[in-house]
Structure 1
């Protein structure tokens, strides 16, 4: 926090940390209406790095963030308290599992955004790279868009529409397989005669301010992935491409057997995603798989993970030593549901 300009720190103190601030009152009111815990933890240094240039008066950054969160919480309270939205409220409680998390990131343009993250079990507010609109406009935005946030079509329509550049080279695209209704990534064959572009050479270290933030940078190839198999049967998967890890986790959770020796009937293998220490929004860089072995000798094998990585996702093995495997992929994933 000490790295932030003094005006930003004062704004955080007065507009966010103050228990009497409107945003804190809105958060508490939402907890009372919904009946579950609400957590909002802004990453102030990262938000300043991403949005600071769009606030010439640095004192306006924290109040703008607070205004957006206040409007979101107020809209959630209003919608949940309206009996005509009973089905939406039931879906909200089912998805949140007794804890609503609200993450704050930056949009890629000048438009504000709101989305739902199944992995985080919460909402993601994308602040515009411009001045945040008035409180009335922001409240209207959240009220209208929160009602659609659980609509799968609305959530994924942006990923299902190919860009003009992608449409022109659709034979080289990597897309989500919709034939079976299951999440799977397929790579179509390239046209005959297609040539591989030579890797660019770099002879200058760029200015840090010119490089996109990690959650955007790592969506571009090359993608690097490392699998470690430990002696006790646990598997550790590290990857810079967050959607890759999310796909593997979803697949394994879908097909994991149940441990019938435990009265709580947990999965035989615990699959857990770990959030990255870098970037904004929901970004994962590690996946762990551990067998539930208190009552039996069940272990997990790395072979299913390796098959997914090579056979489904198209990564190429570049090194292995018996207990660890290193992969690389140079073809960009053009589409993803994550």
Structure 2
């Protein structure tokens, strides 16, 4: 099999590169006879940091065929790495490893409180057992995910329990993500020192500097939240009574403020159909985030947060290539000229 080669201008710096896929690793050492498959603007493979592939509707079981289709959609959009903070069940062994799958981090099944979250999904241990369950999950897969708040008025995981979960997850060598869509839940998450807050709607902007200092990331799932807000506002009666409207209405402003405060902001879609990372990047830009930073949240910055380097010698051989600079033409994100994962070009 011929060695794959790409060349062009590489982000984030825009430096010229000429890279060869030595198996699953990039090298700049020339390989005679290498197959030049793409030239243009080159990004480290895109990242969707919040996606739940494998089930069509909440509560459905994990389906192998749906999972494969979802992951293929991610690849075709340029996403070569996903983080799934919650799956309907433990994924098959090929998940994150096969040619039809992006690289993947996952948190197993969600961990939620009794009477909360989607029926049929997740585990609901007694509150005192939450830290142990989270630590066991993180020891197996590197991440655990706790739903710390759900509907308005529901109980929030107490800060002392969540702090113990953080301690035990870290002791197991993992990281802890939490679902939060209420201000009180966000405050507990920041106080406990979780590794990432998913959604973060209603988060107090005064907490952003502390998040930046302690390394708590935010995955705002902005396109999903603003899309849901638009549907809610289209029904005046529902909009008038919905708890969702106040937080969702300022979520774009919060996201932009988080970037400015130095919080690690990760691009995540949280929607079906899969493969919508370009919409999330554009939502970040619409919110006031610069195109460079918005793309970083879905590429090199997200990869760095998850422990994968970019377009360097010895780095995983993942990349997405565009004909023009996507920072000056966001429409490029919809039409990558080549997607490479594990040193192989994704057939399109």
Q: Which is richer in helix?
A: 1
**TM-score higher than 0.5 here?**
no
TM-score of the superposed pair, with normalisation by structure 2: 0.23
Question: Which of structures 1 and 2 has the bigger CA Rg?
Answer: 1
TM-score (normalizing by structure 1): 0.24
